[in-house]
Chain A
Amino acid sequence: MSKVRVLVGTRKGAFILTADGKRENWDVSGPFFAGWEIYHMKGSPVNPDRIYVSQTSSWSGQVIQRSDDGGRTWAAPGGGVQKSPQGWPMGESNRFVYDTSDETGKPLTTHQFYDGTQHPWEFKRVWHLEPSLTDAEAVYAGVEDAAIFQSKDGAHSWQELPALRGHGTGPQWQPGAGGMCLHTIVLDPKDPKRIYIAISAAGAFRTDDGGQTWKPINKGLRSQFIPDQDAEVGHCVHHIAMSARRPGVLFMQKHWDVMRSDDAGDSWREVSGNLPTDFGFAIDVHAHEPETIFVAPIKSDSEHYPLDGKLQVWRSKTGGNEWQAMTEGLPQQNCYVNVLRDAMAVDSLDDCGVYFGTTGGQVYVSPDAGDHWKPIVRDLPAVLSVEVQTLS
């Protein structure tokens, strides 16, 4: 009997929601790491019981937590499980140090700040964890200030892939409202050396050699908030989604505009079509239908809530341009929540469940690819991220 495990990161802790394949009756566990911001949690595709968590706090910094039993027990890698000779927890998994060595990359020291001045890179938090598709010990981390790190030892230790910051455009990168964050990491299931990332506000980048070199992939993006609207970098990409069934075809929710690329990001075209607003954060692709995509439109860049107080997921079955509002079961009045970039996910059951969380603390599920929705939980802290694992 299949079941699903939904991993929910919130402003004040982590929660795990589980159900069988019908997705009707749910068990809720948590909060884990109560009081901390859980920016993201994600399970390894190789070993689903291994779950990585980004636990962060403006007060106390960054901690990486890990479970090896599906979320029943947790430990900071190196801490909790391993003990010092005196029996105390050991753990330095929260150490993210930018590479400034001459040998491995150009030691970038500054990026553009809000006021246009140059500002030194300062590590703040991990926004996104992307476990390897082939190795349960390997995981990537996208961090603020924007950089990508890699661990090959189950998150015990982290090393930057410095060529991204050394690409040469770093001094032009600038923070978005949420900070200068690398928030999206997409791994190509057919080519282990190909990785896509996205940064607010720099844009999208791709490596084809496992992170040794990177290229900006922003042709076709137009952004009104930068002086050169077609610039090579500087675009505020909010999220990128790709179907594992069709690597190379990418869908992007940009600050404004929903975009599509059919050539691995080398060029983009707008597919906003009939969306009532093409501002938003979240975007995802149906697990089995690569032309079926989901977005959660938000009114505008200053009004981060649905149009007219009606919470809607819009679905396109044509790979964009032609969209349909999926509203059954969602509040259609007085709803002023946001759906953040990492807060939408799909399962891989036959009828493809779709999940999303809101800043109002609701997590919704549609067990039929968007046709019908119902809340799994209504009153969690503000939801930052939602991931789902389909378990056999």
Chain B
Amino acid sequence: MIRVELPHHLRVLAQIGGEVTLEVADPVTLRRVLDALEDRYPVLRGTIRDHDTLKRRPFLRFFACQEDLSHDSPDNPLPEPVTTGKEPLLVIGAIAGGC
């Protein structure tokens, strides 16, 4: 069971009350988690990563276990505490000022 925490705006958009839990087959990678997330919530396609290139949107970042995974390969295995559900994968919006 993989746990994912999304930013407020995306939770509202996808009508998600709180944390998302997903079943993801091994090896658990960022790509596989996002694939599973978008399969369940198609409205999120294009909001976290580009529709076609699947590149992370520039103002979003990925963290887990106090590590910044944003610039890692999406095919790297996620940290073990994430794969066991002990720690969530965090999708976080950049603090880029208010306007």
B contact residues, total (Cβ < 8 Å): 24
Residues of A30-55 whose CB lies within 8 A of B: 35-36
Residue from B13, B41, B51, B99 within 8 A of A11 (CB atoms) = B99
- Check A90–B42 contact: CB distance below 8 A: yes
- Check B52–A89 contact: CB distance below 8 A: no
A residues in contact with B57, CB < 8 Å: 59-61
Q: Verify if A161 is at the interface (C-beta below 8 Å from B).
A: no
- Check A97–B47 contact: CB distance below 8 A: no
- Check A88–B9 contact: CB distance below 8 A: no
Residue-wise interface mask of A (1-41) relative to B, using a CB-CB cutoff of 8 A (1 in contact, 0 not) = 00000000001000000000000000000000001100000
A residues in contact with B45, CB < 8 Å: 92, 94-95
Find the A residue at minimum CB distance from B58: A58
A residues in contact with B41, CB < 8 Å: 88-89
A contact residues, total (Cβ < 8 Å): 24
Extra A-B contacts (10), CB below 8 Å, given A60-B48, A86-B40:
A11-B99, A60-B47, A60-B57, A60-B59, A60-B60, A63-B13, A76-B13, A78-B42, A79-B42, A94-B45
- Check B42–A60 contact: CB distance below 8 A: no
For the residues of A in contact with B, the DSSP-based class is loop
B23 CB → nearest A CB, Å: 12
For the residues of B in contact with A, the DSSP-based class is loop
Find the B residue at minimum CB distance from A93: B43
Find the B residue at minimum CB distance from A90: B42
A42 CB → nearest B CB, Å: 21
Q: Verify if A57 is at the interface (C-beta below 8 Å from B).
A: yes
Find the B residue at minimum CB distance from A63: B13
Knowing A86-B40, A89-B42 are in contact, say whether A36-B9 is a contact too (CB < 8 A): yes
Q: Verify if B10 is at the interface (C-beta below 8 Å from A).
A: yes
Q: Verify if A353 is at the interface (C-beta below 8 Å from B).
A: no
Residue-wise interface mask of A (119-131) relative to B, using a CB-CB cutoff of 8 A (1 in contact, 0 not) = 0000000000000
B residues in contact with A11, CB < 8 Å: 99
B36 CB → nearest A CB, Å: 12
Residues of B3-25 whose CB lies within 8 A of A: 7-10, 13-15
Q: Verify if A84 is at the interface (C-beta below 8 Å from B).
A: yes
Residue from B13, B42, B93 within 8 A of A92 (CB atoms) = B42
Please name 19 pairs of A and B residues whose Cβ atoms are closer than 8 Å in the assembled complex, sorted by A. A11-B99, A35-B8, A58-B59, A60-B59, A63-B43, A63-B47, A78-B42, A79-B42, A86-B40, A89-B14, A89-B41, A90-B43, A91-B42, A91-B43, A92-B43, A92-B45, A92-B46, A94-B47, A97-B52
